[in-house]
Amino acid sequence: MAAKPGFHIASAEEIKAGKVTDVYFQRTVEVLRREGIHKHVLAEVRATSLPAGYEWAVFAGVEEVATLVGGLNAKVDCLAEGEFFRAGEPVLTIEGEYTEFCVYETPLLGLLCQASGIATKAARCKAAAGDKTVISFGARRMHPALAPMIERNAFLGGCDGVAVVKSGELIGEEPSGTMPHALVLVVGNAERAFRMFDEITPPQVKRVALVDTLCDEKFEALTAARVLGDRLSAVRLDTPESRRGNMAQIIREVRWELDLRGYEHVGIFVSGGLDEAKIAELAPIADGFGVGTSISNAPVLNFALDIVEVEGQPFTKRGKPSGRKALLACAACGERRVAPAAKASGARCACGGEMSNLLLPLSEPGKVVRELPPVQELRARVLEQLRSGRWTI
């Protein structure tokens, strides 16, 4: 049978209907229902380990999880979206008659693993950049159906902007972008391309000239500065790998030549092959970064969902701590600890501070009970936690 043209993606309806599930969950429901086994269980989501070099991660994907579990006959508690956490800490619990939510384990984990992976990588890049601009440039590396999700979580994680039109619509932000090499190539000349871009592009769009297409960055940067003067906000260096010997030295040269001629106002924006390590190296001398692959293709977080209580009794598989837990955080010093939920109320920190459980209600059977803040507020929470100095890279 010939293949039917179409995008190989599941629709929102199919996801909500539980069709995006591993078949063994469907079979488990079949067995339990046929045997009349209807047990109330509590399951929890944790990441026993984080990607190499990560001390912490950012919890993301809650808005989509609320969409997924909103109508289920189950109760879900979880961290606030944008909350930082460490390996081994419970981030979400779901409870109810097991066959009511069994098939949703696959999409639930999928939503959390990828969104949290992207938000965490974005936060690491923003931590490395400090107050320098970081723009998400990576939609072209992933399936377009995912671009809004990828960029929403890149923004939540701390990126200052997103590049895709649809993503901007989703989060209520103007999409950011400079100019592609294609514009210079099709026009055939960098100077004419810069002039045309400036004459035609709406005035509120920052003028960022791409200066590595046809000749040396410093000479194209000076051309852009001469042509656009005060209207030039920055130059973008997307130097090809084969020419990217010492990027820091190239940036210093461009900076020197611009300043020598009075173009101190012109910023230097870098893109191509960047991650938190490269950004940390270049942040002292560059003004902004376009990050693609390393954020959009960020390592997912290895969340697992495990039953920890059956019919109210602690019961779980080998290798996991059983029973209902609380993730306690001290309001005074930020100290964290995982404790049996039964011992959580009135818990005090060694510093004497009051400790509260970070696992808060998201949904009750049939409805979402948490107010879901706009992503701008969640992003502000992430930046606040980065500034606290408690979460470093």
Which residues here bind ligand PCP, judged by CB under 6 A?
A: 137-138, 141, 180-182, 238, 271-274, 290-293
Q: Which is nearer to ligand PCP, 56 or 137 (CB)?
A: 137
Shortest Å distance, C-beta 389 to ligand PCP: 28
CB-wise, 114 or 294, nearer to ligand PCP? Answer: 294
Give 141 or 336: the residue with its C-beta nearer to ligand PCP: 141
Q: Which residue's CB is nearer to ligand PCP, number 298 or number 368?
A: 298
Identify which of residues 44 and 160 has a Cβ nearer to ligand PCP in the complex: 160
Q: Which is nearer to ligand PCP, 198 or 238 (CB)?
A: 238
Shortest reach from residue 271's CB to ligand PCP, in Å: 4
- Shortest distance, position 295 Cβ to ligand PCP, whole Å: 8
Q: Closest approach of Cβ 292 to ligand PCP, in Å?
A: 2
Least distance between ligand PCP and beta carbon 147 (Å): 13
3-state secondary structure the chain: CCCCCCCCCCCHHHHHCCCCCCHHHHHHHHHHHHCCCCCEEEEEEEECCCCCCCCCEECCCHHHHHHHHCCCCCEEEECCCCCEECCCCCCEEEEEEHHHCHHHHHHHHHHHHHHHHHHHHHHHHHHHHCCCEEEECCHHHCCHHHHHHHHHHHHHCCCCEECCHHHHHHHCCCCCCCCCHHHHHHHCCHHHHHHHHHHHCCCCCCEEEECCCCCCHHHHHHHHHHHHHHHEEEEEECCCHHHCCCHHHHHHHHHHHHHHCCCCCCEEEEECCCCHHHHHHHCCCCCEEEECHHHHCCCCCCEEEEEEEECCEECCCCCCCCCCEEEEEECCCCCEEEEEHHHCCCCECCCCCEEEECCEEEEECCEECCCCCCHHHHHHHHHHHHHCCCCCC
Tell me the residue number closest to ligand PCP, measured at CB.
292
CB of 182 to ligand PCP, least distance (A): 6
CB nearer ligand PCP, residue 182 or residue 331: 182
Least Å distance between CB 197 and ligand PCP?
Answer: 13
